[in-house]
Amino acid sequence: MSLTSAGPPALEVSFTDDPKVVKEAATEDYSNHVVPRSWRSGRWSLAMAWWALFSAMFWLYVAVAAADAVGTPATIVGMVLTVATFGVVNLVLSRYAARTGLTVALLSRRLFGMLGSALAPLIFAATALYYAVFEGSIVAVAFQQYFGGAIEIWYLVVVAYALPLVIGGVRTWLDKLNGVLLPLYVVGLVAVVIAATVQRGYPQDWLQSAAPSGPLPGWLTAYLIYMGVYIMMMYTVDYARFGRAEDQKFHGTVTFGWVFYAFTFAVNGLIGIYLLRAWDIAGTETGVVTAFVRSLGFAGVLVIFVSQTRINTANYYLASTNLDAFATRVLRLRLPRAVWTVVAGVLAYLFMLTDVLSYLLRALAWQGVFVTAWVAIAMVHIAVRGADRDGLPEFRPRRLKPVTAGAGAWLAASAVGIVLTEQSASPVLAQLAPLITVAVAAGLYYAALVTAPGAVRPAGEDPRDEVEDIWEARIRCHSCDRSYVAVEMDRDPNAGGAAVCSACAADSTAPAGATAPAGR
């Protein structure tokens, strides 16, 4: 059917933020919408929120694990290469996210189609949740070592106190919280190094410690170990979408770029190696906790508390936003993000009650395969097909196919990575699985872009063509009765062509191009 000659209903346009949307954004943070420029964070506000990830004890642990495997000199080389790689990739991703205002879930629609994209927020949420479990367990172990008591009770405590901190969004609370706690963590790092040196003396060989040679060069093995945390690049997209256009250079270099990773990977990593060598502690998951507590006593417990509070604000925040995106898209279940924060906390606590460390690394390895493939595909897409129109990738539901060839490339590359990771015939191939996954994902997705049918399909009238500035004009959605920037608005054939926001359009099952009589 076609629209009557009168055409689609007129748009209800405004040029200020809808008060109802602003009120929701204080906690929802536009989880299922494009972030308008009016909701972007100041330079230091966003930097403080993001630098919560600097203080994870995991960075100390992973460096010690690498040093135990290949020796400190090779680990340092691997760190330098990792800092350079993460700096370049996140420079690109942070600028792209700031320019488009899209989450991982919304960008994945363009990469994989509406159905194919559903897996991305699920993988993202699960990985963030696992890291929340790891970091929360570190705090619980520190409390138990110092105060005693049942570990199950401490697990409950660390989950319960973290959840209220995550209810507020990035610009309304997390930036302020982490800005206050950052100096405390830095002072704690300096103090623990000094205390360990005073008590144990300077470990003379900590920079020269070697390890048995393996089938691959040590520096390459260390580099591959750090590829296991490519989830940070997905984290970057969901945070950098709050960046202002004029701050892209700063964020690409300092907030999300090489400066951040020099401190996060190199400084944290070297401190971790130093502490465990000073105390002659094996590089286990709880070894870092033991080194802090032995060095500083109760003050060490406080440093761990501060560090893990900071990192878990990011973990629970991203777990909740992506659980929200997954449930909204797949289950058609729309609930406040606060509810998903509680769900994330309950899941984290249940995981902690199991022998989580026995399967955590295996789970992260599998999820890491999907993540590294996603990163490779996103980079290829930005380089080859960065924008469809208006400087943006198409992400509006009616204008995308359900599944694209890109989804096939993602699944195929991930399958290759998992098979290589799990096979035992060739340890070398198992170690090289992350690099091979990246290469396969990039190659398959490039081939899909240049040979497969396009993912974008025509869908009739476009509200973007009816306003002068798609970033300043707000258009009211007929379904939710809220106004969002024209960037994300479309026409709904099930409502006579009335305007509909991206989130409400995702609930529609109408095929692209279908129209309904005006006034329906």
CATH number at residue 320: 1.10.4160.10
pLDDT band of 472, cuts 50, 70, 90? very high
Lowest mean pLDDT among 1-15, 156-170, 287-301, 363-377: 1-15
Distance CA 344, CA 442 (A): 32
Q: Tokens representing 269?
A: 């990593």
* Residue 433 pLDDT grade (very low, low, confident, very high; cuts 50, 70, 90): very high
How large is the average pLDDT for residues 3-16? 79
**Domain with 465 in it:** 1-29+461-520
The model's confidence at residue 520, banded by pLDDT at 50, 70 and 90, is very low
Kindly state the average pLDDT of the residues 72-85.
Answer: 96
360 falls in which pLDDT band (50, 70, 90)? low
Residues 47 and 15 in one domain: no
Looking at the fold, whether 98 and 193 belong to one and the same domain comes out as yes
Residue 416 falls inside a structural domain: no
Helices 427-451 and 405-422: angle between axes, nearest 10 degrees: 170
Asked whether residue 89 carries a pLDDT value surpassing 90, the answer given is yes
Beta-ladder partners of 474:
14, 485
388 domain residue, yes or no = no
Are both 113 and 18 inside the same structural domain? no
Residue 302 lies in a domain: yes
Are 496 and 8 within 8 A, CB to CB? Answer: yes
Q: Tell whether 55 and 197 lie within a shared domain.
A: yes
Final residue belonging to a domain, choices 336, 353, 370: 353
- pTM score, whole prediction: 0.90
207 and 98 share a domain? yes
Q: What is the pLDDT of residues 145-201, one digit of tens each?
A: 889 999 999 999 999 988 888 887 666 666 677 777 888 889 999 999 999 999 999
Domain presence at residue 453: no
pLDDT, average across residues 378-389: 94
Last residue of a domain, one of 291, 325, 353: 353
Instruction: Give per-residue pLDDT as tens, 398-410.
Output: 999 999 999 999 9
Q: What is the Cα–Cα distance from 209 to 200, expressed in whole angstroms?
A: 17
pLDDT above 80 for 97: yes
Per-residue pLDDT averaged across 352-375, rounded?
A: 81
pLDDT at 106 over 50: yes
The residue among 306, 338, 353 that closes a domain is 353
Provide the pLDDT for residue 359: 67
SS3 per residue for 365-429? HHHHHHHHHHHHHHHHHHHHHCCCECCECCCCHHHECCCCHHHHHHHHHHHHHHHHHHCCCCHHH
Q: Show the tokens assigned to 475.
A: 């258009």
Map tokens 């330098």 to a residue.
80
Q: Decide which of 145 and 238 is more confident.
A: 238
**165 and 276 together in one domain:** yes
Number of domains in the chain: 2
pLDDT confidence band for 468 (50 / 70 / 90): very high
CB 52 within 8 A of CB 174: yes
Same domain, 11 and 42: no
Whether residues 102 and 184 share a domain: the answer is yes
pLDDT (0 to 100) of residue 5: 47
Looking at residue 514, its pLDDT comes to 40
- Is residue 279 in a domain? yes
> Can you give the pLDDT at residue 357?
61
Regarding whether 167 and 44 lie in a shared domain, the answer is: yes
Does 346 lie in the same domain as 493? Answer: no
> Looking at the domain assignment, is residue 329 inside a domain?
yes
* pLDDT at residue 49 in the model: 87
**Is position 105 within any domain?**
yes
CA 335 to chain CA mean position, Å:
21
pLDDT of residue 382: 97
Give a yes or no: residue 13 inside a domain.
yes
Identify whether residues 21 and 142 lie together within a single domain. no
Percentage of the residues of the chain whose pLDDT score is greater than 90: 61
Whether 519 shows a pLDDT value over 60: the answer reads no
Q: Are residues 21 and 68 in the same domain?
A: no
